[in-house]
Amino acid sequence: MRTHSFHPPVRTLMGPGPSDVNPRVLEAMSRPTIGHLDPVFVDMMEELKSLLQYAFQTGNQLTMPVSGPGSAGMETCFVNLVEPGDKVIVCQNGVFGGRMKENVERCGGTAVMVEDAWGSAVDPQKLKDALQAHPDAKLVAFVHAETSTGAQSDAKALVEIAHRHDCLVIVDTVTSLGGTPVKVDEWGIDAVYSGTQKCLSCTPGLSPVSFSERAMERIKHRKTKVQSWFMDLNLVMGYWGSGAKRAYHHTAPINALYGLHEALVILQEEGLENAWARHAHAHRALLAGIEAMGLKFVVKEDERLPQLNAVGIPEGVDDAAVRAQLLQDYNLEIGAGLGPMAGKIWRIGLMGYGANPKNVLFCLGALEDVLSRMRAPIERGAALPAAHAALGAA
């Protein structure tokens, strides 16, 4: 059999990521590949670092993209900061907190779990109690924006509590970066990782990370070697570090980095505050439309993420059938629920380039059509006018 070139369909991606990629990013990625030690490329890396510092709102010297998806950024934080025998407090309120626990244990650490219900924010009081009960804890880790449920936690408050107990803090901002405020320096975050395929609207496969001086000190003075050669920051710094000799560590994903550079230039052109406001605006319109249809958001109002909207699936409606119909008839992808929320929620992403009125109206119209044809118990004809009104209210 002769295999031909692969041409994917043009979809609208409104799930939990990847999100719609800005065409400017795709165009940037198709530019000529040059050597990863080429002086022109090295200049681009310097720009990329300062663009990431802007996105994270930090002056941290060690701010760079890890060559790998968000999960690789997560692992980079844990393997460098956790040593065998370390006690780490992990706050869990969804899927990704569970992965943090897994990371701690694979590093030989002990994870003390602080659990909150899926769909709720992390409760600061529970973290306080855990720190009091475990004064020997060295690290606290939590997810700022839980993509599995659409809940946002108060990162600033949680970091403050952890610091009062002399713990360093690892924060997952994969879904928050670019969509809602992430202020690494102001909040005092010690280690942070994100992803390119959510609110930065870049292709998947890179993970921006940033480490404070305190975190770097901890890493430099480890008693044991980082067990991952690839992710050992002491080695990676020879390539990405300031004043580094750009020694070969691994071949950087050249064209992927062009894409991230472009995505961050786009973010800088718009301005972070404007990007946050755009996400909030699109979210309010989607919310108005969903509620007018008679459907409900599952996360309570003051804990909702604008970029990840968890909508309850009405009684008797076949989750998978609806998503399949949306994909088939509208080339529209929305996300399913995970774990205990499987079959109970849809996750509608309004991330980065996709957080706009056009996508909101398209999604509401498509969802209403598919649900109506399935005779689901929804209010017809109300969603679009409600969304239009919310969009006009600015």
Ligand X SMILES: *Cc1c(COP(=O)(O)O)cnc(C)c1O
Q: Which is nearer to ligand X, 144 or 386 (by Cβ)? A: 144
Q: Is 333 one of the binding residues for ligand X (CB under 6 A)?
A: no
Part of the chain binding ligand X (CB under 6 A), chosen from 40-48, 66-74, 118-126, 331-339: 66-74
Q: Is 96 one of the binding residues for ligand X (CB under 6 A)?
A: yes
Q: Is 255 one of the binding residues for ligand X (CB under 6 A)?
A: no
Minimum distance of ligand X from residue 178's CB (angstroms): 13
User: What is the C-alpha to C-alpha distance for residues 390 and 385, in angstroms, rounded to an integer?
Assistant: 9
Q: Which residues fall within 8 angstroms of residue 12, CB to CB, at 6 or more apart?
A: 20, 330, 331, 332, 333, 354, 359, 362, 363
Among 65, 119, 195, 208, binds ligand X (CB under 6 A): 195
Write out the binding residues for ligand X, residues 353-382 only, by CB under 6 A.
none
Q: Is 351 one of the binding residues for ligand X (CB under 6 A)?
A: no
Could you give the angle at which helices 213-220 and 233-240 cross, rounded to 10 degrees? 120
Minimum distance of ligand X from residue 143's CB (angstroms): 5
User: What is the C-alpha to C-alpha distance for residues 267 and 51, in angstroms, rounded to an integer?
Assistant: 9
Q: Is 228 one of the binding residues for ligand X (CB under 6 A)?
A: no
The dihedral sign for the CA sequence 270, 275, 278, 282: positive
User: What is the C-alpha to C-alpha distance for residues 94 and 32, in angstroms, rounded to an integer?
Assistant: 41
Q: Cα 11–341–15 angle (5° rounding)?
A: 15
Minimum distance of ligand X from residue 383's CB (angstroms): 27
User: What is the C-alpha to C-alpha distance for residues 274 and 178, in angstroms, rounded to an integer?
Assistant: 10
Q: Which is nearer to ligand X, 12 or 173 (by Cβ)? A: 173
Q: Is 109 one of the binding residues for ligand X (CB under 6 A)?
A: no
Write out the binding residues for ligand X, residues 4-63 only, by CB under 6 A.
17
Could you give the angle at which helices 70-81 and 95-106 cross, rounded to 10 degrees? 40
| Phi-psi map region of 370: left, alpha, beta (phi>0 left; psi -120 to 50 alpha) | alpha
Pairing of strands 308-312, 168-172: unpaired
Part of the chain binding ligand X (CB under 6 A), chosen from 69-77, 216-224, 238-246, 312-320: 69-77
Minimum distance of ligand X from residue 73's CB (angstroms): 8
Among 70, 109, 335, 354, binds ligand X (CB under 6 A): 70
Query: Are the CB atoms for 279 and 385 separated by under 8 Å?
Result: no
Q: Is 71 one of the binding residues for ligand X (CB under 6 A)?
A: yes
Part of the chain binding ligand X (CB under 6 A), chosen from 24-32, 68-76, 158-166, 245-253: 68-76
Among 174, 191, 267, 275, binds ligand X (CB under 6 A): 174
Query: Are the CB atoms for 83 and 223 separated by under 8 Å?
Result: yes
Q: Is 142 one of the binding residues for ligand X (CB under 6 A)?
A: no
For tokens 């809940």, what's the residue? 151
User: What is the C-alpha to C-alpha distance for residues 118 and 317, in angstroms, rounded to an integer?
Assistant: 22
User: What is the C-alpha to C-alpha distance for residues 259 and 201, in angstroms, rounded to an integer?
Assistant: 10
Q: Which is nearer to ligand X, 100 or 215 (by Cβ)? A: 100
Among 92, 175, 201, 359, binds ligand X (CB under 6 A): 175
Strands (DSSP E) contained in 121-275 are 139-143, 145-146, 151-152, 168-172, 191-193, 207-211
Among 22, 60, 61, 147, binds ligand X (CB under 6 A): 147
Q: Which is nearer to ligand X, 69 or 109 (by Cβ)? A: 69
Q: Which is nearer to ligand X, 95 or 219 (by Cβ)? A: 95
Question: Where does this chain bind ligand X (CB under 6 A)?
Answer: 17, 69-71, 74, 96, 143, 147, 172, 174-175, 195, 197, 204
